[in-house]
Structure 1
């Protein structure tokens, strides 16, 4: 029997009702007022990187699981337009996974990855050896074949270069002679030159095929020559600059495409070294991958999806007739009718962003004595958003509990083996947010790394708040007793793993005391 009806969920897209309506919302609150469990509401927010179908399936499973718990379950299902992608072998991958798999096949990505890894590895070795230099003053580079083999041969789940500890002194930077050595190495690398030319040729051909557009016409002018092509997911703005450089070079008025690529690669290597020095790296291999993605592929890798997810939350509340705003008005009326329910807010992954926004909005419309229990499952919100929420309405949070993986398991929750060898939250922190290694609430890394605590002003504030009780944080895998256990080993486990759901059931029955 299906338990999930419109009396238990609203569905929003771009902040407005989609497949449910204001009338459905009115009926939901009428059903709530008539229900025996009207005084204990659980408001659930799923994560952002899931389809509507998956969100509904999860909601139905939770309805089934908690049907004997004395609560009234309400689900906010929010469409984030995240497609599922089917590869040629018939496997189903998320958008982010599919893009990473495609990028990893690109020759230009492989060449950039190999060269940046080679120099980053050499820089770490040089500093750790007391500044030992090669003849001529540059870095003593490891053999390219050895780097290439390390990139491609791990088959036991081991991360490439996992044995390298890339810590550098806080003042360490890429030196001028190292920049020049790197630039010369890249611009004289025939394999990289070939791959750059292939993607430029492919981009020009794409412009000719779409010659009706102004950009297409501009690219088509220089796109007549023949040559081997290669598709690429390099961001369009980067490809445009690369192609313009090549066009100008052909007229003798500027640098070539390979020089442009080398210049951006220098920025990548500089950022990698800076992150090693500032202790904001995610390990040698993941950090290099992250910085290449940030410099060359940011528009394609999924940042626009992540930005859209956050905008979906904002849109729910930014107009009085949008779904989030109307829900809060109905909740306000529910209180004015004499109801005083206990409300538990449960947010998984990006659902924690929704919880933060909801709390900030609630302060404006509900009585001061209305408070909420908060349960965050692998929260993907930033420390800054959570700190802003505490500043705005900490008094509205009666109690909180965060379930997340310890850092060892977070690192082991690999998105795509041998391509991006860390978890979704690491990818959000390292690539999708504006600053690399942005603190994310669901990552234990930011609870225990002193260098990071000192670097971000929000971290001490949040740690002081959360460390008031050892019961506020549950780091899986742990058997902590009633309401404090989790065996989740993957980001998506928290809404389906038995120990976590048993803890959640205990919390819904007995509270967070």
Structure 2
């Protein structure tokens, strides 16, 4: 293996050709801080002494481009993070940019189970029927001024809508049902204005939906199958004559949702098809419909179909979509890393940096690069550094950050003065909305999913999503002070926001097409980061 592409350090320590294993060992020893649940050894492969050695080497070398500390994002296993560091980012940072790279590898690849759940949910009959039923009533209630066909019930053909949905879910249709196509010419603010006249009488809506369920045997069948799976001793007969109602024993539906739909403890006296209180089922559908309409009224929908899916998932599957087992856990790891104590990797890093810089007159240039959830890591680092390194300034580069505006605003208010330069690379909203996370089920990006599904409230404003800055009529200074604080912060730095695609020049080019592109697959963004390290912002 020719080592020229691996920069100054490998050229000085190795000669000729070496194996990939040797390269990996070299980078692992000198450039990677591995954490597990925010901790160093014995939880991880890195000790506090290793952290000190890495920082000592970085400061002794004192490269012209400074030290670059990289935090990868979520959905990344340890092996994948190491591979990206070794094959893509080390050559970029060390050889091309002339910086000393340090990589935090923090094991964030825990999303496999929730992703598998989402794929299974997409195939569940009850999920499909709830989306179809809720869609029908959203379209009947929304006025024509929101840009969806058939809005207000005018010209809406329920039979055609259901067939188009069936074709869509079965993969026989490449586009969404015709009635859900929304005009791209309408802003969120216009949609909100045109939706304010919609009457939201929950009791009336529930009664109307209950009547429609009575004439919808396919919907009844889907609900009954889940009931039979939950209560096999009290299995119900089919609503209509046929082969019989099956039992959906493996449904992902949450216990809380099941309690809202069915009697929690059926008895022999309630056996028979009438054991399902269809008014309760209608109430659940109505809840989904009302949430969707309220988001339209607020200008905070994520498009007709994605919003329907988000609200159906929240109502029926909230414990299966990864919020507690992945997202909350991952955010906790980023904060835990800066807990006081040598076993915590972030704290150990800053403490070692403090010790190594004692007596140093000119602090080094340190650039923090964070992709996705890695940007949350940087927010916690800035907070922790305020106490341990009060005189240290940092350059900051965000790549498709999953940081909420609330966290960013708090970071700015407390530690914004410690940020020397700032730049962010992310997708424009058109690309963000079109970055399909799960085929058929969720047709927008991971950041849309985090915003719509994994935070406390749907449509939680995220720093890496253009919509929250561009839709200023909806996300205004009075109602969203955190977003306004971020706008003012960005305004202090030239060219602080780069929305892909961008060909604005060196250090400002980007062509990320998917959430995971920015620190790995998008050569344009990576070249911009290298230029920033070499020549500044």
**TM-score using structure 1 length:** 0.86
Cα deviations by residue, 1:104-125 (Å, 9 ceiling, x for unpaired)? 1101001101001111111124
Q: Match for residue 374 of structure 1?
A: 396
Q: Would you say 1:23 and 2:49 are equivalent positions?
A: yes
> Which residue among 238, 241, 256 is the counterpart of 1:237?
256
Map 1:258-337 onto structure 2 (within 5 A): 258-304=278-324, 305-321=326-342, 322-337=344-359
Which range is displaced more, 444-453 or 20-29? 20-29
Map 1:107-126 onto structure 2 (within 5 A): 107-125=125-143
Q: Match for residue 13 of structure 2?
A: none
Distance 1:382 1:507 in 2: 25
Q: Would you say 1:54 and 2:91 are equivalent positions?
A: no
Q: Match for residue 34 of structure 2?
A: 11
SS state of the match for residue 106, structure 2?
strand
Distance 1:158 1:505 in 2: 40
Q: Match for residue 438 of structure 2?
A: 416
RMSD of equivalent CA atoms: 2.8
- C-alpha distance 223-7 of structure 1, shift in aligned 2 (>3 A): farther
Q: Match for residue 377 of structure 2?
A: 354
Shift in Å, 1:12: 1.2
Q: Match for residue 148 of structure 1?
A: 162
Q: Match for residue 80 of structure 1?
A: 108
Distance 1:472 1:74 in 2: 24
Shift in Å, 1:389: 0.3
> Which residue among 473, 480, 486 is the counterpart of 2:497?
473
Shift in Å, 1:32: 2.5
Contact 2:142–2:198 under 8 Å retained in 1: no
Q: Match for residue 196 of structure 1?
A: 223
Map 1:164-175 onto structure 2 (within 5 A): 164-165=182-183, 167=192, 168-170=194-196, 172-175=198-201
Shift in Å, 1:19: 1.7
Q: Match for residue 410 of structure 2?
A: 388
SS state of the match for residue 13, structure 1?
coil
Q: Match for residue 486 of structure 2?
A: 462
Shift in Å, 1:54: 1.1
Contact 2:429–2:466 under 8 Å retained in 1: yes
> Which residue among 101, 115, 131 is the counterpart of 2:119?
101
Q: Would you say 1:228 and 2:246 are equivalent positions?
A: yes
Residue segments in structure 2 that go unaligned for 5+ positions in a row: 1-19, 184-190, 238-244
Distance 1:39 1:324 in 2: 22
Distance 1:385 1:171 in 2: 35
- C-alpha distance 399-56 of structure 1, shift in aligned 2 (>3 A): same
Distance 1:12 1:73 in 2: 17
- C-alpha distance 382-197 of structure 1, shift in aligned 2 (>3 A): same
Q: Would you say 1:437 and 2:469 are equivalent positions?
A: no
Distance 2:311 2:65 in 1: 50
Distance 1:242 1:385 in 2: 37
Structure 1 segments (4+ residues) deviating >6 Å: 126-129, 224-227
Which range is displaced more, 47-56 or 192-201? 192-201
- C-alpha distance 149-467 of structure 1, shift in aligned 2 (>3 A): farther
Contact 1:159–1:418 under 8 Å retained in 2: no
Contact 2:133–2:285 under 8 Å retained in 1: no
Contact 1:429–1:436 under 8 Å retained in 2: yes
- C-alpha distance 500-159 of structure 1, shift in aligned 2 (>3 A): farther
**TM-score using structure 2 length:** 0.82
Distance 1:418 1:151 in 2: 10
Residue segments in structure 1 that go unaligned for 5+ positions in a row: 85-94, 206-221
Q: Would you say 1:447 and 2:475 are equivalent positions?
A: no
